A and B are shown apart, each in its own frame.
Chain A
Amino acid sequence: MKIPASNLWAALAMCALAGCTQWPQEGAGGFAERSSAQNPRVQHLGTRYVNALAGGARRHAASDVAEAELLLTRISREYASGLALDADRDAETLALVLDRVETRVRVAGLNSK
């Protein structure tokens, strides 16, 4: 039996391509906190954070501010990299932390009057 030459070369090319790897898509969001936030939830939480800082949160609730800062960074990255579910969960945590920060800032303001 005589094998056609075109078939022989096609089989050879398939065998060669079988050795290639399929790589995942490129990542993103590793520096998302440096660019302006696109997600409305992140924008809202970022505004609360900035307002708290303006109210003297770094002086009255230093540890919570540090925690909020890290969470805000994390949430920005997660939304940018497609980890939306994790981002939503962390956003709820950040909202609670910001609640604490705002409370402490408010109490500190009342005590100073």
Chain B
Amino acid sequence: MFRFRFGFLVLLALLCGRMPGLAAGQPEPALRIGDVLTFNLPGEAVLNKDFQVDRSGSLELPEIGVVPVAGKSLPQAIGVVREALSRVYRNVERLTVTLKAHKLPVTVLGYVKKPGSLELSGDDNVQTAISEAGGLAPGAQLDKLQLRRGTRILEFDYKRYLDSGDVSILPRLEPLDVVFVPASPRIGNVQVEFDGKALAQVGDGAEDVSAVKVFGEVNTPASITYREGATIIDMIMRAGGVTRYAAVGQIRVINDGKPTLFNMTGYLDSGDKASLPPVQRGATIFVPRLQEDVTGSTDASWLRLPPTRAVQVLGSVNKPGRFEWSSEMSLFDLLAQAGGPGTQADIAHIQILNHVDDKTQTATFNMSEFLSRGGSMSSIPKIGAGSVVVVPELAHSQGDNKAQWVRQPAEQSIYVLGQVGVPGRYAFNDSLRFLDVVAAANGPTNSADLRNVRVSHRRGKGTQVSKVDLARYFEIGDDKLLPKVRPGDVIFIPDRNRDWTDTGNEANVRVLGAVAKPGRYRFSDNMTILDLLAEAGGPTRDAYQEKILVVNMGGSSAQARAFNLTEFARTGNLEKVPTVRAGDTVYIPDAGQSDWSRLTKTLGEVLPAAAILAVMHAL
């Protein structure tokens, strides 16, 4: 009795709306594949759990096997289940079954990032399914998605749903549905990694038949999906707008093989929509190139500009090329037309090649001097049709690329050799001076002998060498000490530590004998013998300082004089300091050459002989 009452109550509860979706007056929904049912049979642990309706529409129950329930209402399903269980189990009237959840097994295939089978919630839609499949892959064709249900294929416009948010556009998902995302025909038949942005730029037209093609002088020629009501302006804007070369008054629209001319300038001026040509499915829009711009270019083509009207500007200008010549133009006009001289241009040596009859004549123009000092306009070279103007380029760093500066003409160069930072050949003109060139060569090095700079003047038939005391110039600052140099000259700055045989005797004094550093020392008339001895390291310990000798090498004769350094140090008498000049010799004897030393030595040799003589005398 109790058992009957309990079973009745369960059945009543099931019928009175404890299941999801059940309400008074509504038909009981049928169970679907994927639904999850919760079983409870007291005393039977194997049945107290959840069971899901499998893909065959059945429940797989322990010891019973499959029980088909799909398509049945929940009460009907409970009846079928209870009947099946009663064959094995007892008290099956106490079994309670509730609908726990709706599940939606679907499959998403095609151009999604993770295609495969999914289990969605019962109320999920296509967008959720695509999202669960990793989202759309680049290249997916959005307006041609398919829903495959059994043998039926339903095509729907997913893009339209994304544009509008209208959920009714999306088909309702059923269990075992297959959502297929096709690839756009634009990605071709070869699988490659491609840039989705680039693909979008060439248009979104899925079908060649209905897409509108826009090409010519537009920024992004594209095949664009036809849209009802879209105008030619819309299409051109979708193609990135027209370029600056577009002939906007001569745009062609071809509908069904019939071309129509569209004057966009006229439309933009008037705003008259009636002037807009219709754009039909599969239309072609062509924006031609402005012909005037091509032929009227500032860079006149070879054909348009014959040699009889052209002049050529070559070399270091910003825009070298052929230019149309007019008789009222000057050389300056022409250089301005060529963009002006470049930063490395040698405007002091502009070369002009003129045609005279069947011969050519060359001329050089120093524009640098003309600009700085002015001059007669007649001094500017005349240029006619067929002339060639060459603006040479100054050499770059001497150390970087010698091959380049070798191209520089020798007659426009000056040579700086020896102890300078960057020896080499330097461009030179009349506006430059000696120090400009030395400075251009990065100046003298630390070991440079500034007092013996030599300049070889090579102009004329013979050569002349002048000596420059650059150190003296830096002491005095008189520009008169600097030589005038001209192109072709050679400046040589010797090494201070060069072999002494390279230096002349006229500027040196020889210091010999008992000094720390005997040798040749440069001597100036503002120096004295004391300076020389100091520079030679001073007399040695065994020097005979009382008789230092000076030999004056005069122009007519020589004379020797003695100097008592010891006495000078004791008395400071300047009158007994001998004269020394460049070219003289100073000799410091050692103590062995003193009078006393020589006397004792002689006596040492004589006394034995004297002793013998004395003995002989005694005998």
Contact = CB atoms under 8 A, between A and B. Distances in A.
Interface stretch (B221-229, B277-285, B511-519, B544-552): B544-552
Interface stretch (A38-46, A48-56, A67-75): A67-75
Contact of A28 (B576, B607, B617): B576
Q: Of residues A18, A27, A61, A70, which shows the largest number of chain B Cβ atoms within 10 Å of its Cβ?
A: A27
Contacts of A29: 577-579
Given A8-B617, A20-B595, A26 B562 contact: yes
A110 interface: no
A24 B561 contact: yes
Contact of B617 (A2, A26, A31): A2
B453 to A, nearest CB: 15
Interface in B506-525: 524-525
A113 interface: no
B577 A18 contact: no
B528 A30 contact: yes
A36 interface: no
A77 B602 CA distance: 39
A54 B552 CA distance: 35
B562 A78 contact: no
A89 B556 CA distance: 11
B598 interface: yes
A5 B614 CA distance: 8
A77 B579 contact: yes
B154 interface: no
A16 B579 contact: no
A98 interface: no
Contacts of B606: 12, 15-16
A8 B526 contact: no
Contacts of A78: 579, 581
B476 interface: yes
Interface string B568-585: 000000111111110000
Interface residues of A, number: 42
Interface stretch (B35-43, B407-415, B443-451, B477-485): B477-485
B496 interface: no
B563 interface: yes
A5 B617 contact: yes
A76 to B, nearest CB: 9
A63 B595 contact: no
B200 interface: no
B472 interface: yes
Interface string B581-619: 100000000000101001101110011001001101100
Contact of B602 (A16, A28, A31): A16
A18 B595 CA distance: 11
B556 A27 contact: no
B559 interface: yes
26 contacts: A8-B617, A12-B610, A19-B599, A21-B593, A23-B547, A24-B562, A25-B562, A26-B562, A28-B575, A28-B579, A30-B528, A31-B574, A34-B574, A63-B476, A64-B478, A64-B480, A66-B478, A70-B525, A70-B526, A73-B525, A78-B579, A81-B552, A83-B554, A85-B554, A86-B554, A89-B555
Interface of B: 472-473, 475-478, 480-481, 524-526, 528-529, 547, 549-550, 552, 554-557, 559-564, 574-581, 593, 595, 598-599, 601-603, 606-607, 610, 613-614, 616-617
